[in-house]
Amino acid sequence: MKITLEHTSQVLVNVHSLEDCNGDVCPIHKLTDHHMRSFPQLWRDDRGIMERTCPHGVGHPDPDDVLNNEDRVHGCDGCCAAPFGKERNENV
């Protein structure tokens, strides 16, 4: 299966199907309404994680990539912090 990531032209191949998707959240099939949803997705093959690239060009862990909660280290500029008054995805 091939899929184009959200807000980008990056295409992933050999992606699991919706039928094989486990859990309630997935950065490919079951996206949530988190505050970084408008940022382009970026698959980091070197780390095996999905990121969201903020307007400043910094990659932040995609809140919907719940399988990779242990690898959240990144060069943060603060864009992954939820704005005041907007509920933050519990997976961040």
CA angle 2, 27, 65 (to 5 degrees): 130
pTM as predicted: 0.80
Token duo for residue 11: 């295409």
Domain coordinates of the chain in residue numbers?
1-77
pLDDT tens per residue across span 65-76: 977 667 777 888
Residues 6+ apart with CB under 8 A from 35: 82, 83, 86, 88
pLDDT tens per residue across span 2-31: 999 999 999 999 999 999 998 899 999 999
